[in-house]
Amino acid sequence: MRIAIYPGSFDPLTNGHLDVIQRAARLFDRVIVAVAKNDSKHPLFTLAERTALVKKAVAGLPNVDTDSFDGLLVEYVAAKKARAIVRGLRAVSDFEFEFQLALMNRKLDENIETIFMMPKDTYTFLSSRIVKEIARLGGNVSPFVPPNVQVALKKKLEPPRRKDTKK
């Protein structure tokens, strides 16, 4: 059984991430989307929220599971008996960091390979950070995220309703 782990913050999941998940699901028997706790990044959504959003969005993909993890990625990968880490590459700008990360992970555990996948070209400009920025400014994010993420962003970023009783 070929198992791949797709780790990330997924704060929140975008259609770019989903595209990578679908491609990986065609190559591996099982893909586990592993949501990283990543407190140091001060995510907008909690770990439980990010995990639930991924879980719902991948519900139609039979060989894709969702999980969360904290700590060293290679240890998590080994514990799941996986041999591959999947990462997405959008542009040259992703390369340097991803290259460093892949080689460091190989130093930590040489049995684990990192596989890079390029998303559909229309998703190469997409990032969770940009999606959050658009949502914060009241823009329409429906082309960029699955419907459940769109709803969650609206809820999270909507200004609190004024309890103004005066007419």
| Residues labelled catalytic | 17, 41, 90, 128
Residue 138: DSSP 8-state: T
- Which one, 10 or 30, has the nearer CB to ligand ADP? 10
CA distance 78 to 82: 6
Residue 20 binds ligand ADP (CB under 6 A): yes
**Dihedral sign computed on CA atoms, order 112, 116, 119, 125:** positive
The answer to whether the CB of 25 falls within 8 A of the CB of 18 is no
How many residues interact with ligand ADP (rule CB under 6 A)? Answer: 16
The residues, ordered by sequence, that sit 6+ positions from 89 with a Cβ below 8 Å of its Cβ are: 95, 98, 116, 117, 118
CB of 52 to ligand ADP, least distance (A): 15
CB of 151 to ligand ADP, least distance (A): 19
Residue 76 binds ligand ADP (CB under 6 A): no
In this chain, which stretch among 57-65, 76-84, 122-130, 131-139 interacts with ligand ADP, using CB under 6 A?
A: 122-130
Residue 88 binds ligand ADP (CB under 6 A): yes
- Which one, 30 or 131, has the nearer CB to ligand ADP? 131
**Number of other residues whose CB lies within 10 A of the CB of residue 82:** 21
- Retrieve residue 6's tokens: 């797709």
**What are the residues binding ligand ADP (CB under 6 A)?**
8-10, 14, 16-17, 20, 87-88, 90, 94, 119, 123, 126-128
